Amino acid sequence: MPTVSNAARATTKDGAVWRTCTTCGVLAALAPDVEQCTACQPTTAARRSGPAVLLRAEHFASDDLFGISTAGSGFAEAIADIAHHFIGDPGCWDCYGSPPDELARLRDALDRMQTAIRETRADLAVIERRARRKAARQAGHTRQVKH
């Protein structure tokens, strides 16, 4: 029997499945071995802008370190919250209720972690894109001056 998901697959490349991009969080048709949408894939960006430029401290804005710290703190907060509410001894998941309750608790914790990862990756992507643009501009300017 046809389903909505089967109909959606008809419009995608062979083997592609609609999943969330691990970098920006957008829903996209991704091949089984791909984790990022085409806009976030490093090879796509490299083809558009030429060879990759090594990022150095001067490519970042003065408040980027604060942005990185804030993104990391949001991720650390999710880990701490999950550890506090769900994990007793290190490496052990605490089970207090029935299997359906525990399944719901574990899914909730996984959802929280997935949200934290998605938000952190999105925050970092903004900072990195800005730094890469600045690095590419500086690299382009350096090449023009040398000629």
Q: Residue 45 pLDDT more than 50?
A: no
Q: Residue 59 pLDDT more than 90?
A: yes
Q: What digits encode the pLDDT tens for the residues 18-31?
A: 888 887 777 888 88
Is 111 within 8 Å of 119 (Cβ atoms)? no
Helix (H, G, I), strand (E, B) or coil at 38: coil
What is the number of H-type helices and E-type strands within the chain? 4, 2
Name the pLDDT band for 39 (thresholds 50, 70, 90).
confident
CA distance 61 to 86: 38
Continuous H helices in 87-98: none
Name the pLDDT band for 63 (thresholds 50, 70, 90).
very high
Q: What is the pLDDT of residue 133?
A: 92
Between the alpha carbon of residue 56 and those of residues 61, 69, 105, 136, the distances in Å are 11, 17, 42, 12
Phi-psi region of 33 (alpha: psi -120 to 50; beta: other; left: phi over 0): alpha
Question: Which H or E run includes 143?
Answer: helix 99-146
Q: What is the pLDDT of residue 43?
A: 56
